[in-house]
């Protein structure tokens, strides 16, 4: 029986770190804003999407070479279905209990987040099921699902014909987004279908930009040879740029130069502005270069590895916890004692680790091992 690819603990730890940063950012506490983008003008979302694509290329690329392209495609579709069911579960929770709690508790953070649901419930429900209406916090998985559905074709073409042409087209699409390609496509869709969902409610992430990050990660993950050693002429400017952006971020804050909108466009998160892409690329080059040394000298952080091994479950759990926190305690605009916010964060991370530990037990024992009464019942029938 073929063996599954061996896990790389450092990648699990990195994914776990991304989940911690996303939780700190999405939990509506006084620590949300300071926790965002701690490594420069690059967020945990970029790291999480890129790592997910890299792992997909690595795992499913090996699957394609070992079991064939059809097996690879089936595995991608199975994963996409699982993601879609998770999204439906999150939407069901948000559109029912969370929406009711937001109205009942008069919490504007929730009612604002689900604004279009209150305006046009029918269009919101249908649009959300079709991955067109994507309210804040619930707009990452839809992009992930669509990219996973496209990945079998991308990976097949890359393995058969090489990646150069696809990377070039992907880069051109990303470039088009810098001049509003996504909004132009949305306008065309409105004219053709009469779509009633506002552009801002289709999700904060501009898919025409983020596809480039996904395809780059997929390509690197599918490579059979290790990543090349970075030459000094590339490493030195990359390290200088990463360090400069890190200093700029912590001196200027989240908004680099608020009085110059052009700079904000160059560093825009949702459309992956050019300076932001360079920031991500520079951090990537530094990590790839320093990675082997860091793996040798740094201690393994088992809690981060645990979160990373169960990234989907933990990701969904952090969304659920953030939604309930918004519904009961309000948004970041609500002034609370620092001790309350610390307690909320400690409770959130306790919940995430509980979910990860349950996932670990499930992987080790299976569902019947976790629920002995089920196996006991099955033996009596």
Asked if the model's pLDDT at residue 295 lies above 90, the reply is no
For the entire predicted model, the pTM comes to 0.92
CA distance 265 to 303: 36
Asked if the model's pLDDT at residue 377 lies above 70, the reply is no
Do 119 and 125 touch, CB atoms closer than 8 A?
Answer: no
Structure tokens at 283: 């951090």
Asked if the model's pLDDT at residue 350 lies above 70, the reply is yes
HSE (side-chain half, CA atoms, 13 Å) at 291: 18
N residues, the chain: 381
CA distance 356 to 71: 28
Asked if the model's pLDDT at residue 27 lies above 60, the reply is yes
Closest CA to 323 of 93, 43, 24, 85: 93
Domain residue ranges in the chain:
9-228+301-379
CA distance 35 to 32: 5
Asked if the model's pLDDT at residue 6 lies above 90, the reply is no
The pLDDT assigned to 368 comes to 63
Asked if the model's pLDDT at residue 44 lies above 80, the reply is yes
Q: How many other C-beta atoms are found inside a 10 Å radius of the C-beta of residue 292?
A: 11
The pLDDT assigned to 372 comes to 58
Residue 155's pLDDT band (boundaries 50, 70, 90)? very high
The pLDDT assigned to 177 comes to 97
Q: What is the largest CA-CA distance in the chain?
A: 72
In tens, the pLDDT along 103-147 reads 999 999 999 999 999 999 999 999 999 999 999 999 999 999 999
Q: Compute the average pLDDT of residues 217-227.
A: 91
């Amino acid at each position: 029986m073929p063996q599954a690819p061996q896990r790389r603990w450092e990648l699990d730890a990195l994914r776990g770190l991304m989940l911690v940063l996303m939780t700190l950012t999405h939990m509506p506490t006084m620590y949300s804003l300071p926790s965002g983008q701690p490594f420069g003008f690059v967020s945990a979302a970029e790291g999480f999407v890129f790592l997910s694509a890299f792992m997909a290329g690595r795992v499913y690329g090996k699957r394609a070479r070992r079991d064939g392209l059809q097996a690879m495609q089936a595995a991608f579709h199975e994963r996409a279905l699982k993601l879609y069911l998770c999204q439906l579960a999150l939407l069901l929770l948000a559109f029912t209990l969370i929406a009711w709690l937001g109205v009942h508790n008069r919490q504007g953070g929730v009612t604002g987040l689900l604004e279009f649901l209150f305006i046009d419930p029918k269009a919101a429900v249908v649009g959300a099921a079709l991955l067109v209406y994507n309210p804040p916090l619930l707009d990452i998985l839809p992009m992930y699902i669509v990219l996973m559905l496209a990945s079998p074709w991308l990976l097949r073409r890359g393995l058969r014909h090489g990646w150069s042409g696809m990377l070039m087209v992907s880069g051109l699409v990303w470039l088009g987004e810098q001049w509003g390609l996504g909004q132009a496509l949305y306008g065309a869709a409105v004219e053709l279908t009469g779509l009633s969902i506002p552009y801002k409610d289709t999700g904060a992430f501009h898919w025409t930009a983020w596809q480039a990050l996904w395809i780059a990660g997929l390509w690197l993950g599918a490579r059979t040879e290790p990543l090349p050693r970075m030459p000094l002429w590339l490493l030195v400017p990359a390290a200088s740029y990463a360090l400069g952006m890190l200093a700029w971020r912590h001196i200027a804050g989240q908004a680099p130069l608020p009085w110059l909108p052009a700079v904000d466009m160059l560093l825009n998160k949702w459309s992956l502005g050019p300076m932001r892409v360079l920031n991500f690329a520079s951090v990537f080059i530094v990590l790839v270069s320093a990675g082997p040394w860091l793996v040798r000298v740094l201690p393994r952080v088992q809690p981060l590895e645990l979160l990373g091994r169960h990234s989907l479950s933990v990701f969904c759990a952090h969304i659920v916890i953030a939604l309930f926190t918004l519904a009961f305690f309000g948004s970041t605009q609500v002034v609370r004692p620092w001790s309350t916010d610390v307690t909320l964060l400690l409770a959130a991370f306790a919940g995430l680790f509980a979910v990860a530990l349950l996932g670990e037990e499930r992987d080790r024992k299976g569902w019947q091992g976790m629920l002995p009464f089920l196996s006991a019942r099955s033996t009596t029938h």
